[in-house]
Structure 1
Amino acid sequence: MSASLREALVTQPTDREIRIERIFDAKRERVWKAMTDAKQVAQWWGRGNKLVVERLEVERGGHWRFVEHADGQAHGFEGRFREVTPVERLVQTFEWDGMPGYVILNTTTLEDLGDGRTKVVAVSFFFTTDERDGMAASGMAEGLNQSYRALDALLAREP
């Protein structure tokens, strides 16, 4: 299956989690860099829309803030890094400006599959089932897949 046709596997393993799995055709170090370098994040994170990376301090306690510009609107997202294990794991909070106070805890792991590919697993933990269900109903999976397709394109352009 070509990378451009691959969709993320999105499941809800518990009443307060969303789990996302996706394989990328790039080495783990390359995927890590695309996820932690501001210039590269700006090319894929916002579904391919214009993204301004206002802050990206990839260290424990570091602050990140991105603003996506689409359809004449700006949407801000931000959080703090709780754990950074280079090329392996990121744990960070996530909050959307449109719903302040609804904080999600995201844990992302990158697994080297040993064949030049990387499996990314992201688990989002919500404070309530209603918050999880609201995110799931928001079109999150389609937006995520759009971003991951933009990441595929970036990884293919810049080996």
Structure 2
Amino acid sequence: MSTSQVRPHPLSVTTPSDREVRTERVFNAPRERVWQAMTDPKLVAQWWGRGNRLVIERLEVERGGHWRFVEHTPDGVHGFEGRFREVSPPERLVQTFEWDGMPGYVVIETMTLEDLGDGRTRLVTTSLFHTTEERDGMLSSGMTTGLEESYRALDALLASGA
């Protein structure tokens, strides 16, 4: 079975505390390639927007660096942004995440990439919300579906060897 025929791994979404969402997904690519796909603006633009046009206005992958993405969807334009708190290539990013549609609701995201030793990488993201209500609102907003769509696009990008 070629890499492009490998079935995607399932996305696991759990709530380890009353203010957190934890997602876990395995990718069929080495950690360095997954890291590059997460941090190179040309690559991010190919998967993060779930197939919608995505404009990377800023992606300064360094402590204190600013990131801002604008997604153009059939129902409008959506801006997302944050700041990097920790950058430890190729294994860990800590950043803030905010959607223009709800200014002031800032999420702290911690992403780790674990090299599974067989050409696969486990990505784990823990999102810390200010309140349980904010966490539950994000979960009910379609977050899981959007993440699954983005990760399928990332699978395709990684399989292409880009």
TM-score by length of 1: 0.97
Number of aligned residues: 158
Distance 1:98 1:158 in 2: 35
Give 1:50 deviation, angstroms.
0.8
Give 1:158 deviation, angstroms.
1.6
> Contact 2:9 / 2:27 at 8 angstroms: preserved in 1?
no
Give 1:7 deviation, angstroms.
2.5
Distance 1:125 1:3 in 2: 32
Distance 1:32 1:118 in 2: 10
Say whether residues 1:155 and 2:162 are aligned partners.
no
Distance 1:10 1:133 in 2: 13
Instruction: Report the counterpart of residue 16 of structure 1 in structure 2.
Output: 19
Deviations 1:92-132 (A, max 9, x none): 00000000000000000000000000000000000000000
Identity of aligned residues (%): 70
Distance 1:50 1:4 in 2: 25
> Contact 1:3 / 1:152 at 8 angstroms: preserved in 2?
no
Say whether residues 1:119 and 2:122 are aligned partners.
yes
Query: Which residue identity does 1:157 align to in structure 2?
Result: S
Q: 1:91 to 1:134 in 2, by over 3 A?
A: same
Give secondary structure in 1 for the equivalent of 2:119.
coil
Deviations 1:31-65 (A, max 9, x none): 00000000000000111211000000000000000
TM-score by length of 2: 0.95
1:51 to 42, 46, 54: 54
Query: Which residue identity does 1:114 align to in structure 2?
Result: G
Instruction: Report runs of 4+ in structure 1 exceeding 6 Å deviation.
Output: none
Q: Which runs of 5+ in 2 are unaligned?
A: none
1:67 to 67, 70, 80: 70
Q: Cα RMSD over matched residues?
A: 1.1
Q: Which runs of 5+ in 1 are unaligned?
A: none
